[in-house]
Amino acid sequence: MLTQSDAMAAERDPGTTGAPGGPLILVVDDEASVQKLLGILLRAQGMRTVQATSAAEALARAADTNPDLVLLDLGLPDADGIDVTRQLREWTAVPVVVISARGKELDKVATLDAGANDYLTKPFTNGELLARIRVWLRATAHHPAKDSASIIEIGHLRIDFAKHLVQVAGREVHLTPTEYKLFATLMRNPGRLMTHRQLLDAAGGPRSADWRQYLRVYMGQLRRKLEPDMARPRYLLTEPGVGYRLRAD
């Protein structure tokens, strides 16, 4: 994370103020020091920030300002950040990047299942945080209406929902119905870490003890059909213990 010396240096530098037209980031954290340091870091990258220190304030600020991205800590004084995520997802698709000291797999899965797009465990580097934010800002800029888009292209991958057609580098690829559902879900959520449960629900798979193995088999088949080298996946990435992500950059 940004150190106090970084903050002092940034405050002395008049060039660190965010551009007036820069992306708006809603920073939700109840620690004043964290709010200050994150604000300086983000504004130094040309972003604008709005702050919230509680769940209630976060929801109000999101409704009032319509931010481009929400940076959310889970440990809030009046409610859990997971509840904030669920309530946001009732009315907005804004990217939610969680930053939390909770590093357990169950916490990550529960947060992502609630609708968060990404999860960073504290401590993390400034570079990693900024990279994740840039990924989501690019994703929303390039795919503003993914749910209604008839065709989505990412790298060499292309899906035409109207024709039920999948292509890799211009070559048509046949997918089974389950493979197609999984691939379509990932293509509609580029860069987003999708949990095992989210993918299983999308594919209509069995709710049994071997559901992770079920997904592992189908993801292996997708890699075989879509990846140039399935041993070194370029697009379909595994997040151990959590789920899968379609690389968007």
Give the tens place of pLDDT for each residue, 98-130: 998 887 888 899 999 888 999 998 888 999 999
Three-state SS at 51: strand
17-50 pLDDT per residue, tens:
345 678 999 999 999 999 999 999 999 999 999 9
Is residue 213 left, alpha or beta, with left meaning phi > 0 and alpha meaning psi from -120 to 50?
Answer: alpha
State the CATH number of the domain containing residue 86: 3.40.50.2300
Confidence of residue 193 (pLDDT cuts 50, 70, 90): confident
137-173 pLDDT per residue, tens:
887 775 554 545 688 899 999 998 878 899 999 999 9
Mean pLDDT in residue range 181-209:
81
Residue 231: the pLDDT is 85
| CA angle (112 as vertex; 59, 176 as ends), nearest 5 | 130
Residue 7: the pLDDT is 43
Q: pTM for the whole thing?
A: 0.65
- The reply to whether 159 and 210 lie within a common domain is yes
Question: Could you give the number of structural domains in the chain?
Answer: 2
What does the block give as tokens for 173? 């690829």
Three-state SS at 92: coil
220-232 pLDDT per residue, tens:
999 999 998 888 9
Residue at a domain's end among 124, 142, 160: 142
State the CATH number of the domain containing residue 181: 1.10.10.10
Which structural domain range is residue 46 located in?
A: 4-142
68-93 pLDDT per residue, tens:
999 999 999 999 999 999 989 888 88
Q: Pick from 53, 47, 41, 20: which is nearest to 125 by CA?
A: 41
- The reply to whether 111 and 43 lie within a common domain is yes
- Phi then psi for residue 110, to 5 deg, are -60, -40
Quote the mean pLDDT of the chain: 84
Is residue 46 left, alpha or beta, with left meaning phi > 0 and alpha meaning psi from -120 to 50?
Answer: left
- On whether the CB atoms of residues 73 and 57 are closer than 8 A, the answer is no
- The reply to whether 17 and 135 lie within a common domain is yes
- On whether the CB atoms of residues 159 and 187 are closer than 8 A, the answer is yes
What does the block give as tokens for 130? 């900024």
- The reply to whether 47 and 169 lie within a common domain is no
